[in-house]
Amino acid sequence: MAQLHERLQAAMGSAFGGSYASSDPMLAVATKREFGDFQCNAALALAKPLGMKPRDAAAKLVEALEVSDLCEAPEVAGPGFLNLRLRNALLEQQLAVMAADASGRCAVPRAAEPLRTVVDYSSPNIAKEMHVGHLRSTIIGDTLARLLELRGHPVVRLNHVGDWGTQFGSPSPTAGLRGGRRMLITHLRQTAPEVASGAAEAELSDLAPAPRPGLASPCPTDAVAFYKAAKARFDAEEDFAAASRREVVALQSGDEASLAAWRSLCATSEAAFSKVYSALRVDERLVTRGESFYNPRLPSVLEDLEAGGLLQESDGARCVFLEGYTNRDGEPLPVIVQKSDGGFMYSTTDLAAIRQRAADEEARRVLYVTDAGQALHFQQVFEIARRAGFAPDSVSLEHVPFGLVQGEDGKKFKTRSGETVKLADLLDEALRRARADARLEAEGREEGEEFVARVAAAVGIGAVKYADLAMNRQSNYRFSFDKMLSLTGNTAPYMLYAYARVRGIQRRAAAAASLDAPAADSAAGFVLREPAEVNLARQLLRLGQVVSDVERDLLPSKLCEYIFELAGDFNRFYEAHLPSSPPAPALLRPLNAAPRRALLALCELTAAVLALNLRILGIEPLERI
């Protein structure tokens, strides 16, 4: 594409004058396959300043364009589009480059300027179980981190867990400590002192006490029981509430016993998070860096905001007022950075995080993968960070918003009892359904339990992840096990079966030819003869551009669309070489002939591209299913 871009600019200068040699040729991938590989729309834009009809401008551009070594004869179409179709010889050369990449990258080009990138994702809360709302942030962020690394960008994966500020409804991290974690620490020290001191380990669900007299309802015994039991005691027992209020003073003053209990809560929660991350195949390099990490930096944030003339007092709170932000009554909308009681806000913590990531991490790009409901918050925080000098213009701050996970009825996704769906329960159900698949339990199968468990995990967890990633992240989507586990359509099972099918063809072809390994055939090179082969080749060669597009737009759904189309092209390619009656298909004939080797080379590269994309999406490719 770079060569075509340069050739088109040279042709514009030759055809229309030197001043046009630097004009944008408006070169893009063709919208439809029948239009060729690329489309140049420059004639439409240049027609008016040139005083020419668009088709005439396109025809003159063609006369000056020299691309015979790259393309077939250019075609002028419609009102003045220029369609360009690459020569088969060039396609074959580019396929060979992809196949020769021993690193497994399939020749995806590295970024010209690697940018150290922080990806902030997942962000569950201490002492609360991960729920379905954490699914999207976790898997979208993990996928983007993998893709950016593929492009050569150094990536820092950060998990901004709620380990100090409240996750219990209070807007201030300090207030949250006063109204939330104080009761958790008190509850832990009273009911499980050995755990609070760090002398013993336990899961939160093991810490729920038996029902207490006088409570409106018995304490539940599920995984969120610990928090609910503490909250019930805080509301019902004055002595417990008073002890909790004293606890916050002890914790903030650095009391070692209180800090030990807090650390125990964090460690217990993080152990539960790790189990979910393991099931989701989240990259192990995800670093937990909670709100507490930034606590020492919060006072200096206020000092610098004040020194920069950004702070104003409003009803006792310290705020920043940004132009263009008003409430429903048209009044200026403040960004509160310190409440009247001295408590810091999430905005304060995020400002401290931005400064730390720009200065200490030396990040050039920072991505925040959170729900779309936080768009205003990040828009304001980013603007304040710029005005305060916390992040120079050379650092890109980007909110990566996503929509909601809904039930099949289009409403909030809940259990039958109305509770928020726990992520661990959802993944367990996905595994159960995949394991119950008749294909895994069919008679005559000889695979052992380890194989069945591995396939069920890849298909079940992969189905949940792929169904989410295949959707435009900015849209809400309806969660449906039946649809995501279907073998038809753009689903993980379909893609996994597509990959396994290619590998099966390679194994059968290798056995038929008495070859030691499928790779032996791929060394023969590529020769494109039939339309189905050419179409498959063109789709394979789109990989680099698709990866570049996702890097820019941060839309993993484009990867899913790409491999779904690739699987379809491969199926048509295979069917074109699979006669309805004997002799055996050309792919499997035991003939050591160049055409057969060229066909198997396309199989090998297709498998490599599918596997690469599945791994970017965090899904394990399966050689057999």
Task: Give pLDDT tens digits for 85-131.
Answer: 999 999 999 999 999 998 999 999 999 999 999 999 999 988 888 98
The bridge status of strand 155-159 relative to strand 287-288 is parallel
Three-class secondary structure of residue 287 per DSSP = strand
Three-class secondary structure of residue 540 per DSSP = helix
Residues 324, 11: Cα–Cα separation, whole Å? 46
The overall pTM is greater than 0.85: yes
Whole-number pLDDT of residue 444: 58
CB 604 within 8 A of CB 570: no
The bridge status of strand 27-29 relative to strand 38-40 is antiparallel
If we measure between CA atoms, which residue out of 432, 165, 141, 403 comes closest to residue 294? 165
The DSSP bridge partners found for residue 131 are: 422
Q: Does domain 117-161+292-406 have CATH number 3.40.50.620?
A: yes
Residues 101, 96: Cα–Cα separation, whole Å? 9
Tokens of 370: 């959170």
Q: What ranges do the domains of the chain cover? A: 2-86, 117-161+292-406, 180-282
- Could you please state the CATH topology (level 3) that the domain comprising 2-86 is classified under: Gyrase A; domain 2 (3.30.1360)
Count of Cβ atoms closer than 10 Å to residue 579 Cβ: 11
Whole-number pLDDT of residue 494: 96
Whole-number pLDDT of residue 211: 43
- Establish whether domains 2-86 and 117-161+292-406 are of one fold: no
Per-residue model confidence as pLDDT tens digits over 413-464: 887 777 788 899 999 999 999 988 756 655 556 778 888 899 999 999 999 9
Count of Cβ atoms closer than 10 Å to residue 330 Cβ: 7
Whole-number pLDDT of residue 592: 46
With a CB cutoff of 8 Å and minimum separation 6, the contacts of 154 are: 114, 115, 116, 117
pLDDT beneath 70: ranges in the chain: 165-182, 199, 201-224, 252, 438-445, 513-524, 578-594
